Structure 1
């Protein structure tokens, strides 16, 4: 018998029918599936959050990647924000989300410890959103742990219905999925309805549809790290719209399915092969050639 496809729409409808917040519904669902207690599940989420927080801290020290291609930007942005001539185009929540997301991306590129959420290349988006909201919205550790259950559950749906891998679906499947997970979790943590969680997920995918995976020299650095910051902003935008009561004409499941369709249609050169996009720019090609020549010596 064919296994029934996971459906975020169905979870949202069921939670609404029972008048449950989505985090409560998904806690119950995952406890049954994993055959564990709520305490054990939330404790596991807390462990992951602690690793994420340490990744942010490590990235903020100004670490550089082994290739020398990236590093130090999270620290640089933090210092610039404290200066008198900083433009300050983003609000504090958005700016910190970008800083933290960039820090984790740089921690990953420097071979630091991260949580693949859902992948290493997209590992900065969730921490960026979560720790910015914790700081500016006074969210408790338990609220973040519950939010991580929501984020992970959204990721499970995406993974089954589409893909979480850049090699399969492009960066829309990595940073895009991370943004959808973060957006849905943000809505839940800030008291949104189950339907608003689904709206946030759908809005993200509508905004990142077609995003290609084009790492320079095949390294998860350029343009990956800055995309973590950009997708943290996409998550906040989607959450803000959903919490304001703005709906989505396309449902969450349909948006996820559309992402799969687009990913399947992307040429191989745009799916983590470094054969197209930014990786094919003259500057990138020249740098990669020099880098690999030096590595071969």
Structure 2
């Protein structure tokens, strides 16, 4: 991926590497901002402050899962809350799925004491799988549902986690395939058309799913359906999803009575369920 970017951008290795370092720095800043103090809150008030709550819960030692999973949840929430609060994030591969990869990356940084260079390498690996997905299917919720956003991000994170933890390229592909397979069919149904509910917490699912897929791949488990075929399956599923379930905010959770009330409160508009 690094070599391809050097050729495509006609930049030096150092320039390309430093550009990815800037993306990492943005991720770090967003995660820190979202977990500091009481956290951040969106202008609508629909989301915010929950990453900080997770940090306090993790620090209490009362978590049901281990530190790695809790840290992934915390940083995933933080990143998407910063996005909802109009803060600076790195789209991975989209703004709506921007918390999935940081959640995994910063959890592994803590668990494996990753160096900055290792974290940058993680992002290049994730980017490679994201590029293949984008070129052969889609990564936008508007065209393929949330499976294309959080699903793709989860696969990217799983593959990079496998690679950075010493797995083979084949194992990385298996991790990607398992993570994406687990989220096929996931719809995009943002309440009030905003990237808040359920988007923020769906990124948590993407992060935890990626860690599980990476562990399975490192243990030698196989997805049985190859990564390339999983990507094409996602594409076919995405094309069959109705418009109401592709980021329009007209179906799914957005069309529930509570979701409709939230939209009315924010925009003063009723939801036309006949569209």
TM-score of the pair, normalised by structure 1: 0.87
* 1:55 maps to 2:30: yes
What residue is the counterpart of 1:197 in the other structure? 172
Contact 1:42 1:142 in 2 (8 A): no
Matched, 1:118 2:89: no
Equivalent residue number for residue 78 of structure 1: 55
Tell me, yes or no, if the aligned pair for 2:58 and 2:71 is still in contact at 8 Å.
Answer: no
Post-superposition CA distance 1:238-297 (Å, at most 9, x none): 111001111121111100010000000001100001111111111111121121129xxx
- Structure 2 matches for 1:68-147, cutoff 5 A? 68-83=45-60, 86=62, 88-147=63-122
SS in 1 for 2:98: coil
Query: Could you tell me how far apart the structure 2 residues matched to 1:279 and 1:119 are?
Result: 20
Q: Quote the Cα distance in structure 2 between the aligned partners of 1:38 and 1:204.
A: 31
**CA offset at residue 149 of structure 1?**
0.8
2:184 is equivalent to residue 209 of structure 1: yes
Name the SS for the 2:229 alignment partner: helix
Task: Give the aligned CA root-mean-square deviation in angstroms.
Answer: 1.2
- For residues 27 and 217 of structure 1, the distance between their equivalents in structure 2, rounded to whole angstroms, comes to 39
Q: Which moved more, 1:154-163 or 1:217-226?
A: 154-163
The alpha-carbon deviation at position 58 of structure 1 amounts to 1.0
- What residue number does 1:45 align with? 20
SS where residue 175 of structure 2 aligns? helix
4+ residue runs of structure 1 moved beyond 6 angstroms?
Answer: none
Question: How many residues end up aligned between the 2 structures?
Answer: 267
**Alignment deviations for residues 219-256 of structure 1 (CA, whole Å, 9 cap, x no partner):** 10000000011110011011110011111211111000
Which segments of 5 or more consecutive residues in structure 1 lack a partner in the other structure?
A: 1-25
The equivalent residue for 1:165 is 140
2:131 is the alignment partner of 1:151: no
Q: Distance in 1 between matches of 2:69 and 2:255?
A: 31
Q: Structure 2: how far apart are the matches of 1:42 and 1:136?
A: 24
Q: Is the 8 A contact 2:58 2:67 kept in 1?
A: no
Give the TM-score, by structure 2 length. Answer: 0.94
Contact 2:73 2:204 in 1 (8 A): yes
Tell me which of 66, 82, 86 is aligned to 2:43: 66
Q: C-alpha deviations, 1:143-183, integer Å up to 9, x for none?
A: 11111111111111111111110000000000111111111
SS at match of 2:6: helix
Residue 239 (structure 2) aligned to one of 257, 264, 277:
264
Give the alignment partner of residue 220 of structure 1, picking from 195, 201, 221: 195
Q: Name the counterpart of 1:188.
A: 163
In the TM superposition, what is the alpha-carbon distance from 1:78 to its structure 2 partner? 1.0
SS at match of 2:249: coil
Q: Which moved more, 1:29-38 or 1:140-149?
A: 29-38
Segments of structure 2 that go 5 or more residues without pairing to the other structure are: 270-275
